Structure 1
Amino acid sequence: MQRKVFSAEFKAKVAMEALAGRKTVNEIAGVHEVHPNQVTTWKREAQEGLKALFECKRGRRRPDEGQEVEALYGQIGRLQVQLEWLKKKSGLNPPG
Structure 2
Amino acid sequence: MSRTRRVFSKDFKSKVVLEALKETETLEALAKKYELLPGQISVWKAEAIKNISAVFSAEKSKSPKDDIPKEKLYARIGELTLENDFLKKKLK
Task: Report the TM-score when normalising by structure 1.
Answer: 0.54
Kindly state the Cα deviation for residue 35 of structure 1 after the two structures are TM-superposed: 0.6
Q: What is the alpha-carbon distance in structure 2 between the residues aligned to residue 57 and residue 7 of structure 1?
A: 21
**Matched letter for residue 22 of structure 1:** T
Task: Select the residue among 3, 6, 23 that pairs with 1:21.
Answer: 23
Q: What is the alpha-carbon distance in structure 1 between the residues aligned to residue 18 and residue 11 of structure 2?
A: 11
**Matched letter for residue 40 of structure 2:** Q
Q: What is the alpha-carbon distance in structure 1 between the residues aligned to residue 9 and residue 40 of structure 2?
A: 13
Counterpart check, 1:47 vs 2:74: no
Residues 1:57 and 1:19: Cα distance change in structure 2 (over 3 Å): same
Q: What is the alpha-carbon distance in structure 1 between the residues aligned to residue 10 and residue 58 of structure 2?
A: 24
Show CA shifts across 1:33-82 (max 9, x none). 0111110011111111213333x377xxxxxxxxxxxxxxxxxxxxxxxx
Identity across the alignment (%): 39
SS at match of 2:51: helix
Q: What is the alpha-carbon distance in structure 2 between the residues aligned to residue 8 and residue 53 of structure 1?
A: 14
Residues 1:48 and 1:30: Cα distance change in structure 2 (over 3 Å): same
Counting only pairs closer than 5 Å after superposition, residues 79-94 of structure 1 correspond to structure 2 as none
**Matched letter for residue 53 of structure 1:** V
Unaligned runs of 5+ in 1: 59-96
Unaligned runs of 5+ in 2: 60-92
Task: Report the TM-score when normalising by structure 2.
Answer: 0.56
